[in-house]
């Protein structure tokens, strides 16, 4: 039974069944502060589901509070890492949950955050490896959120560095990796070409530029999907924005809009944000 668990859960991470993914991280309430007032939380989730999100990412406590039918066809990813903006080292992520808890919560996947170049990189890599071992035991897909962050990183958008990072995630047992976007964005194709596992592009342009064009560009570069949080849950109409992004992810908008991996993107000079 456990041997079939991972493929069954993996299938639920793509509502269209095309192995493309639009994930909405909502774990910001630990790192930065409230995502939505308690009375609006369920309404936000319903809007994300109605818009066509493939999955939401939350911490275990928030997962326990979910109304059983609120997600319907939307997958649940339980995030196992945490730190806060008040910490003396915001790049130092620690494990605050485990795979067994995620199984009990009915999760379809778990995620772990690692900051390459941080002062605590070694411990974070060790945690990723340990979680990967538990995921294999329990048949749980593992999403590694791996970013170049810390005092040793000169250019977090360097394609060669990001190609290294996605391979770290793969080699330590992740099934999918979420990471920053290379700049210029068309060079994200180089990162994807060197990755043994699917790559999710994190976040969007922090300068307020068009998120749909941004998503189109990263999908055209070969990413398997998007993980966008703040730009969605702070939107006046999350359902509408999710619906438009879902069309980009699942509708092949990166091709039909005339972009290719060799066509310069309108976002070739922006700085990619974090979900």
Active site residues: 27, 147, 178
Residue with tokens 């990471």: 179
The two tokens of residue 129 are 């490896």
Q: Which residues pair with 110 in a beta bridge?
A: 78, 142
CA distance 95 to 79: 9
Cβ(175)–Cβ(10) under 8 Å?
A: yes
User: Measuring CA to CA, which residue among 206, 235, 226, 210 is closest to residue 36?
Assistant: 235
CB atoms within 10 A of CB 168: 18
Residue with tokens 């070694």: 122
CB atoms within 10 A of CB 175: 20
Share in percent of the chain as helix, strand, coil (round to 5) = 40, 15, 45
Three-state secondary-structure class, residue 143: strand
Is the Cα dihedral 125, 58, 90, 225 positive or negative?
A: positive
Cβ(24)–Cβ(228) under 8 Å?
A: yes
Q: How long a stretch of residues is the chain?
A: 275
């Amino acid at each position: 039974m456990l041997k079939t668990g991972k493929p069954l859960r993996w299938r639920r991470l793509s509502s269209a069944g095309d192995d493309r993914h639009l994930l909405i991280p909502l774990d910001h309430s630990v790192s930065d502060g409230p995502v939505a007032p308690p009375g609006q939380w369920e309404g936000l989730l319903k809007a994300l589901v109605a818009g066509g999100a493939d999955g939401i990412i939350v911490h275990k406590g928030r997962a326990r509070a979910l109304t059983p039918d609120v997600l319907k066809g939307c997958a649940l990813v339980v995030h196992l890492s945490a730190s806060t903006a008040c910490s003396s080292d915001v790049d130092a992520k620690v494990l605050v949950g485990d795979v067994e808890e995620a199984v009990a919560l009915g999760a379809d996947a778990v995620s772990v955050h690692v900051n390459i170049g941080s002062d605590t990189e070694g411990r974070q890599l060790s945690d990723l490896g340990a979680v990967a071992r538990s995921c294999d035991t329990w048949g749980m897909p593992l999403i590694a959120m791996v970013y170049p962050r810390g005092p040793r990183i000169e250019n977090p958008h360097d394609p060669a560095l990001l190609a290294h990072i996605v391979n770290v995630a793969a080699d330590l047992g992740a099934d999918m990796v979420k990471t920053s976007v290379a700049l210029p964005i068309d060079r994200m194709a180089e990162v994807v070409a060197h990755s043994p596992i699917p790559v999710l592009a994190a976040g969007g342009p922090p300068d307020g530029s068009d998120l749909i064009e941004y998503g189109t560009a990263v999908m055209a570069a070969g990413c398997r999907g998007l993980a966008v949080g703040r730009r969605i849950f702070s939107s006046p109409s999350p359902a509408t924005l999710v619906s438009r992004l879902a069309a980009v992810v699942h509708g092949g908008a990166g091709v039909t809009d005339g972009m290719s991996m060799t066509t310069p993107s309108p976002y070739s000079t922006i700085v990619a944000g974090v979900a």
